[in-house]
Amino acid sequence: MSVTLQEVFRLGFAQHARTRRLPFHVHRAARAILGCRTAAMGSHVRGCPEGHEIQVHYNSCRHRACPQCSRPRVDRWLDARRQQLLACDHYHVVFTLPHELEPLWHTNRQRMIDYLFRAVRDTLLELLEDPKYLGARPGVLATLHTWGRTLSFHPHLHVLVTGGGATPEGWKPVRNGYLLPVRVVRALFRGKLLAALREDVTTERLVWPADRSRTWIENLLRRMQQRRWNVRIQERYTHARGVLLYLGRYLRGGPIHNRRLLAASEERVVFAYTDHRDAKSKVMALPMEQFLQRLLWHVPEPGRHVVRYFGLYARGQAAAREACRSELPAPPDDAKPSTVAAPSAPWIAAPICSICGRPFVVLAIWRGSRAPPHAHAS
């Protein structure tokens, strides 16, 4: 029998929640995952419009941390991005928060998220709008990930940057396939993020850990100014197709998918991961308590955007974006957007009638745990 994240939560979440105080949004995510496609979520009746067949199904939870039902939402996101992105090359840039700053993240989570996005935005737009480099306004799509492959805490941004930008004269492509010197990007990013943190220390808006002092933070920021920060400008993607699919896998259902889970008991969870150091597939076993602690670190707070758009991809830039699109060559057929998926619904995808071949339609919906009456096909 295959292991699912829902089964892991059934085995260990109640005990985990009894031993620590968890935020409300974490309890909400756990309830959603535990109840997904069970009687707790209610049910619905679907059937052939000609009355040949009828089926009863439990509803999905539609929580973004649930690996069972987030695929349609991400597919719609991917399709919308394919329509939004310009038909040009895109560069994949990764900005990583140094692990020494992670204690500040845990006590200033939303502020640190905003500062990380802002530092990345200002770094890329400032450099690429400089005539010394590109001298044009690019499109930037940034996605926050907080986990590593073993569910360790590892905040970083994956960023898509257009291989060119808008100028008063029109579209200007990146020269010689070279986006930016990584050493310059690294230094500016470091300076902008540390400047924001120093300002918050001065104004006492930053909350430091209970076992640390203001002097500790000031010394930490001075040390971090001398450190080499991790920024990688990775390969160029044609029409951003490869990295979009990569980001989609990250966005779908949280940091671990059911296919990676190998075994689970009340004592431990075993899962597979790929070691980035040697690209080999490996297996890790963690105590149930530690596995859930790592996993629940990464449940996003409601209303917090983990994907943000800047430059030509920002809201309000549609006219400038379309002007650039008109100058670029049409994308190949395999890069064009597919048909947009159907609107989100609390049930799984509709099947096809085995008799007449028509798609099933929803006949009735029951919310909560009340079961629908028994229905017979006519």
**Domain range spanning residue 47?**
5-63+345-366
> pLDDT tens digits for the chain (378 residues)?
579 999 999 999 999 999 989 999 999 999 999 988 888 888 888 888 888 888 887 888 888 788 887 677 777 778 888 888 898 989 999 999 999 999 999 899 999 999 999 999 999 999 999 999 999 999 999 999 998 889 999 999 999 999 999 999 999 999 888 899 999 999 999 999 999 999 999 998 988 888 888 899 999 999 999 999 999 998 788 766 677 777 776 665 678 888 899 999 999 999 999 988 888 899 999 999 999 999 998 888 877 788 999 999 999 999 999 999 999 987 766 555 544 343 344 444 567 888 888 888 887 777 765 555 554 433
Q: Is residue 283 part of a domain?
A: no
Query: Is 208 found in the same domain as 59?
Result: no
Same domain, 218 and 136: yes
Burial track 309-341 (b if 16+ CB lie within 10 A, e otherwise): bbbbbbeebeebbeebbeeeeebeeeeeeeeeb
In a shared domain, residues 116 and 241: yes
Residues 179 and 221 both lie in one domain: yes
Identify whether residues 9 and 101 lie together within a single domain. no
Q: Do residues 45 and 161 share a domain?
A: no
What does the alpha-carbon distance between residue 52 and residue 360 come to, in Å, rounded to a whole number?
10
288 lies in some domain: no
Q: In this structure, are strands 280-287 and 268-275 parallel, antiparallel, or unpaired?
A: antiparallel
Q: Where does the chain show beta strands of DSSP type E?
A: 43-47, 54-58, 90-96, 139-147, 153-162, 164-167, 170-173, 231-237, 261-264, 268-275, 280-287, 307-311, 361-366
Residues 27 and 83 in one domain: no
pLDDT of residue 251: 63
The answer to the question of residue 282 being in a domain is no
User: pLDDT at position 335, please?
Assistant: 54
CATH code of the domain in which 330 resides? 3.40.1310
The reply to whether 280 falls in a domain is no
Q: Same domain for 175 and 249? A: yes
49, 128: one domain: no
User: In this structure, are 142 and 43 located in the same domain?
Assistant: no
pLDDT of residue 299: 87
Task: Please give the helix or strand (H or E) that residue 372 lies within, else none.
Answer: none
The DSSP call for residue 314 is S
Do 156 and 190 share a structural domain? Answer: yes
Q: Which strands form 268-275's sheet, in the order they lie side by side?
A: 261-264, 268-275, 280-287
| pLDDT computed for residue 345 by the predictor | 43
Report the domain count for the chain.
Answer: 2
- Regarding whether 145 and 126 lie in a shared domain, the answer is yes
**Beta-carbon count within 10 A of 64 CB:** 19
- Give a yes or no: residue 291 inside a domain: no
